[in-house]
Amino acid sequence: MKVHRIKEQIALYKTKLKGKQDPYDLFPFEAVENYKNNWDIEAMDFGKMFDSSFKSEVSSTLWSADQYHPKQLMLKFIEMDKEFVRLMFRDLFKEDKDIVLRVNRFTYYCDEMLSSLMKVDRKESSHYHGDLRMVTTYLAMEFPEKYTVYSFKMFKSLMIRLESQKTPVVDEIARFQTLMKSLYTNFMLKDQELVNTMNDMVKENTYFAGNTTMWVLHFAKSIRAISKN
């Protein structure tokens, strides 16, 4: 990525933030705040806790959309074997293990549980975690300062916009998370005017105000929208 290009795009982003913001645009920060207020991996009623952790008064598009229902499937997995699902999340959140290994293993566990579910419910044919979007949503909720939600399309578009010499052609989850954290830490947080604006936005809406690379997701979507206008 070219430094001057990153700074140019951040300048455009700051201009965008000075305008009136639609609360919908801030839904990732509302989602993190709600997760932090509800998640308890030791909860006796794991299903109720999971359901409460992934709810939103703004938008549920991270875990529910047309023909995309990972939350509902995970709730079914919890009904089948809540202790196994609890272990799945413990394993996913082990930061001493490689992220690709953890994500692949979590997806494999979902494959196995779906296979068991289909024996009693043939209507279900997908667990919706294979595209990495929902698995990285879990990571972004648990470790907001380190991870953001993965999208290959967004990743490729952003790398092209920032004139990266290596545009992704396949999923590169580790590289994606490293670059997103770098953009947030080495550029966005170094711009005090931008930091002040971001803090004011989330405080006004009582959303998550801690460090979170979800801001890179917001940045990527915002500059892409600007380019389309």
pLDDT tens-digit profile of 156-200?
Answer: 999 999 999 899 999 999 999 999 999 999 999 999 999 998 888
Give the mean model confidence (pLDDT) for residues 108-124: 91
Residue 194 in tokens: 């931008």
Instruction: Give ∠ CA 134-132-123 in degrees, rounded to 5.
Output: 65
Domain count, the chain: 1
Average pLDDT, the chain: 91
Rounded Cα distance between 222 and 166, Å, is 22
Q: Are 32 and 141 in contact (CB under 8 A)?
A: yes
Q: Domain containing 93: what range?
A: 3-228
pLDDT tens-digit profile of 25-73?
Answer: 788 999 999 999 999 999 999 999 999 999 998 889 999 988 899 999 9
